[in-house]
Amino acid sequence: MSQPTKKVLVTAFEPFGGSHVNPSEQAVQLLAGWQIPERRIPELEISVDLLPVAGGAAGLRLLERVRREAPDAVVCLGESATASGITLERVAVNLRDYRIADNSGQQVVDQPVVAGGPTAYLTTLPVREMATAITALGIPAELSLSAGTFLCNEVMYTVLHYAATEQPSLRAGFIHVPQLPEQAALGGRGRASMDRLTTARGIAAALTAVAAELRNGP
Ligand code: PCA
């Protein structure tokens, strides 16, 4: 008997901080284009979106899409210059404290994501199983306790707050991906990197674990 289809929304970010590329955008393009075998998860309908690196606007766009599509899970992706593997975020904090200006030129300091909201939310994605699925392909993955205080944390907190207050069945979380080799090459010695195909395969493997959770979930 075939499984009922579940919907997953996967988002990436546009380039930021003076870079012309964002590895999350490239990974999502590969996922959307069916170029990788690991993406063939029959019971999962995957849709993708690209978010602006702009405070407030990124979360608004994401929630508008979530309200319209009513996915079962949201997996947001972004770039981290310090990630050495695919990094599954466990915690989103209610803090915006940008270390650089966003793409609209604003640099927010010491502000909450949601005024009066809880201090933090834990991811509702099965991050341990996702990490296991990624490493089973021979691709490095790790769990992380902080998505930072820039746009990646902001959208993670925003979607988890939406889920907590409006759609408790929604699973959501964030994955940081390493820079592309061409970005790391500019960053100097000791910078980790991952090519876009490897990153996309790792994300597809992570989505397999999300699909299993949705299948077996409450
Ligand atoms: N990474 C940034 C924002 C956009 C992105 O891809 C972050 O880690 O917050």
The finding on whether 24 has its CB within 6 A of some atom of ligand 1 is yes
Is the minimum distance from the CB of 13 to ligand 1 under 6 angstroms?
Answer: yes
Q: Quick one: pLDDT at residue 40?
A: 81
Q: What pLDDT, on a 0 to 100 scale, did the predictor assign at position 58?
A: 98
pLDDT at 72: 98
Which numbered atom of ligand 1 lies nearest the CA of 78?
Answer: 6
pTM of the model: 0.96
pLDDT at 185 over 60: yes
pLDDT recorded at residue 4 = 73
Active site residue 76: no
Burial of 2 (0-12, 13-18, 19+ CB in 10 A): exposed
Active site residue 161: no
pLDDT value of residue 128:
98
CB 16 near ligand 1, within 6 Å: yes
DSSP E strand stretches across the chain = 6-13, 44-51, 73-80, 86-89, 91-93, 120-122, 141-144, 171-178
- Indicate the pLDDT class of residue 2, thresholds 50, 70 and 90: low
Q: Which of 76, 154, 176, 213 is catalytic?
A: 176
Query: Which pLDDT score, from 0 to 100, does residue 28 have?
Result: 96
Contacts 24+ apart (CB under 8 A), 100-108: 100/16, 100/17, 100/150, 102/16, 102/53, 102/54, 102/55, 102/150, 102/151, 103/14, 103/16, 103/52, 103/53, 103/54, 104/52, 104/54, 104/55, 104/57, 106/54, 106/55, 108/55
Phi, psi of 49 (to 5 degrees): -150, 160
